[in-house]
Amino acid sequence: MVSLFPAFVVMGYFLLGYAAFLIRCRLFGVPRDQEMESRGASLMLGMHVRHYFAWITRPLWRGLMAANVTATAVTEAAAAIGLLSGLAAALGYLGLAGWLFIFSGILDATDGRIARMRNEVSRAGAALDSILDRYVDTAFLGGLAWFYRDSWVLILLLLAINGTSLTPYIRAKGEALGMAMRDGLMQRAERLVYLGIPVALSPVVEHLIREPNEKPAYLLAIAGITVLAVTSNVTAYTRFRALLRTLAQKP
């Protein structure tokens, strides 16, 4: 139980933060974030959650701004932490892996905001951010695949790797051809919520519902992996179909 203490601390921060966010909304209205509104909601992640995320992480990016940390440094730190999440997953520390993946994603969402506020946006920075994101996703899913290498869950993880690789690739291909392709069930923000959180909380849930095991199954993590495997491939397919349909209509 002692080993789960850090997880309870982090959970407590986000739960108490959400309670404070609801009180803030009740008294003064929803603290709207222009950047989140410009990106829009999705079927799996509404604006309420997006505004909460922007509000709860505001102290982080404001602190980084005050400390004069560059957007590139934040991008590199996000990538390093994301790669560590894959190593932690491969070694079986799924709770740690999940929280590292989530924190990496939070930093990844922060670097662009810092760059825009400092007017440091560049194509090189955008390319670096996008490429490192692919490394992080592959490292995390690869680490989980290694952990579940003797289980049927490996098939789901291979499907998830395929879907998460194709989704940004089809988007990039579409944009190169002059077509914006930002819709879909499972994008990066959704992956943090529907994969990162279940993996992070899986040791806690496992401790509560199952007897101690030398190699626990982590049922909540499997549920998150299943959702990702299905929705990421659905997203890739719908983007692929939309791309072909649009190209077919062009002369």
Q: How many CA atoms lie within 13 A of 228 on its CB side?
A: 36
User: For residues 108-126, b (16+ Cβ closer than 10 Å) or e, as one string?
Assistant: bbbbbbbbeeeeeeeeebe
- Does the annotation mark 133 as catalytic? yes
Which among 78, 68, 56, 73 has a CA at the least distance from the CA of 10?
56
Residues 6+ away with beta carbon under 8 Å from 155: none
The single residue of 33, 111, 133, 137 carrying the catalytic annotation is 133
3-state secondary structure of 42: strand
Q: Write the Ramachandran bin of 235: left for phi over 0, alpha for psi from -120 to 50, otherwise beta.
A: alpha
**Which residues are catalytically annotated?**
133
